[in-house]
Chain A
């Protein structure tokens, strides 16, 4: 077996462990599925009339608009949960088992990210299913759904990189868990739950430059209006930027961890 094949097998095995770990630990699963689903239900039930506001993008229903936001919330919390799980591994010494094995150490981070990406995929499928069950239309059909699945999966991997970097740097699950409210703040300061055009300043300016808005728009627009190449490119570039940032920070944090033990 070649070195690359062995490394891929390691990444797959660690990714599978990461997924099993999430499903076996309810406190990791709840933020990914339960909270965003509840928020989606509350918002669509309580604020559905918002679609009649002047300037609100034309949509079939508030649920159709909110699906992308719920996916975004879920994937962000999947990244956060991945970071918490990695920090728990560090705290209980499990990463020592991994670091003392003859595999490239970055494969350990990639394994964790593969698991987070798989949870992103699960999240995309879950919310698409909820949307379809409750009558939300996906305007661009199957291609739009596929775009949403790919972007959510890729963005989960990207955000997971940031979570992994923080976990490796701090080695503390409580620190990573403490970022949970920050994740929500960053989300609310994007177009995830409300159109940018209806926000007041400075929230509108922040949302405009928030890369998460680009990702949300890339996921949402195929659902509510149609596929737009420009939106798609912006979303891919935003995800690529977060991926690069996450991987660079993770690599630095990994070196730091090995230096300090």
Chain B
């Protein structure tokens, strides 16, 4: 049974259609990666699915409940950690988790026990009685995640859980997401990081300008756009000569930097000896050789015409950061 079903979901803000009739289904126990640049409609979609924003069209169910007609039932089954960790800097970590337990209707003593367990789980026991305002970004994200788990939700929404975190904190969050998923929690994760979607998601939906432009497993999406290619850097000899030699072995891709020859190979690593042998027999010296597999960025480029991470970096540069 799908944990999330979305049909023709739309959200307009005045004249702007931020989400333009998207459809998707997330199976129970799955990690669904919702990938797209800033402003693509990821957060708007999450806010509708978590009942924080009313859709202006279409419908959606979460854990079998309609997000508009049965909003309260939806809220009883979901955990939410939004893009900006929604924490009160004046509260302590322990106070926050206990408050969250109360909001979820968990009896006081049980709430205290779960707060202690969760703080232990996210390695914040030592900082539990310090004010959240003094936590690092990674600690705040872990606390936010712990708060989202206090009622053991069936479906967990994580909106860009690692944006702005250092690599170590990012890996810690990934490990926790994997562990939660192993315990049976369905995870709907938005991200603008290709590696995050690739590492974590069972299925990926790519959203751009409010529309889903591609959907599938990371592997199937990558396979859809082509085979791996061999990237050759020549020690001597011309690119044209090398291309003429490689042409019968696979589809030639546009050369990189004018020096690197790119040959698409159907069988991946198994085709490398053929390429090396052909060049060697023709006396073309190769400085280095690399087998390059398609990435989700290639998929993104294929579907949208631009690179996701460049776009994200540009957007990040453009957006003012609150002091």
Q: Which residues of A contact B (CB under 8 A)?
A: 1, 6, 9-10, 13-14, 17, 20-21, 24-25, 89, 92-94, 96-104, 258-261
* B100 A17 Cβ-Cβ under 8 A: no
Q: How far is the CB of A258 from chain B (nearest CB, A)?
A: 7
* A13 B99 Cβ-Cβ under 8 A: yes
Choose from A14, A93, A94, A100 the contact partner of B75 (Cβ within 8 Å).
Answer: A100
Q: How large is the interface on B (under 10, 10 to 19, 20 to 34, 35 or more residues)?
A: 20 to 34
**In the assembly, what is the distance between CA of A10 and CA of B100, in Å?**
10
Q: Which residues of B contact A (CB under 8 A)?
A: 13, 44, 47, 50-54, 72-73, 75-76, 78, 80, 82, 84-91, 95, 99-100, 102-105, 107-108, 131, 147
* A101 B104 Cβ-Cβ under 8 A: yes
Known: A99-B51, A261-B47. 20 other contacts (CB 8 A): A6-B105, A9-B108, A10-B102, A20-B95, A21-B90, A21-B91, A24-B90, A92-B89, A94-B88, A96-B52, A96-B86, A99-B52, A100-B52, A100-B75, A100-B78, A101-B103, A102-B76, A102-B105, A258-B54, A260-B13
**In the assembly, what is the distance between CA of A21 and CA of B95, in Å?**
12
**In the assembly, what is the distance between CA of A82 and CA of B90, in Å?**
15
**Secondary structure call for the A interface:** helix
Which residues of chain B are near A9, meaning CB under 8 Å? 102, 108
29 contacts between A and B (CB under 8 A): A9-B102, A10-B102, A13-B103, A17-B88, A17-B95, A17-B99, A20-B91, A20-B95, A21-B90, A24-B131, A25-B90, A92-B86, A92-B87, A92-B88, A93-B84, A93-B85, A96-B80, A96-B82, A96-B86, A97-B103, A100-B52, A100-B78, A101-B100, A101-B103, A101-B104, A102-B72, A258-B52, A258-B53, A258-B54
Which residues of chain A are near B108, meaning CB under 8 Å? 9
Choose from A1, A21, A24, A261 the contact partner of B107 (Cβ within 8 Å).
Answer: A1
Choose from A92, A100, A104, A259 the contact partner of B80 (Cβ within 8 Å).
Answer: A100
**In the assembly, what is the distance between CA of A261 and CA of B87, in Å?**
18
A17-B91, A100-B78, A102-B75 as given contacts; A261 in contact with B52, CB under 8 Å? yes
Q: How far is the CB of B160 from chain A (nearest CB, A)?
A: 13
Which residues of chain A are near B47, meaning CB under 8 Å? 261
**In the assembly, what is the distance between CA of A13 and CA of B87, in Å?**
16
The 7 closest A-B pairs by CB, nearest first: A261-B53, A101-B103, A93-B86, A102-B76, A102-B75, A13-B102, A97-B86
Chain A: CB-nearest residue to B51: A100
Which residues of chain A are near B85, meaning CB under 8 Å? 93
Chain B: CB-nearest residue to A104: B72
* B103 A94 Cβ-Cβ under 8 A: no
* A98 B103 Cβ-Cβ under 8 A: yes
Interface centre among B44, B102, B147 (most CB of A within 10 A): B102
* A97 B72 Cβ-Cβ under 8 A: no
Interface centre among B80, B99, B131 (most CB of A within 10 A): B99
Which residues of chain A are near B84, meaning CB under 8 Å? 92-93
Which residues of chain A are near B103, meaning CB under 8 Å? 10, 13, 97-98, 101-103
Q: How far is the CB of B306 from chain A (nearest CB, A)?
A: 27
Which residues of chain A are near B54, meaning CB under 8 Å? 258-259
Q: How far is the CB of B222 from chain A (nearest CB, A)?
A: 34
Q: How far is the CB of A253 from chain B (nearest CB, A)?
A: 15
Chain B: CB-nearest residue to A22: B90
* A94 B86 Cβ-Cβ under 8 A: yes
Choose from B72, B78, B86, B88 the contact partner of A21 (Cβ within 8 Å).
Answer: B88
Which residues of chain B are near A93, meaning CB under 8 Å? 82, 84-86
Q: How far is the CB of A21 from chain B (nearest CB, A)?
A: 5
Interface centre among B72, B78, B100, B103 (most CB of A within 10 A): B103
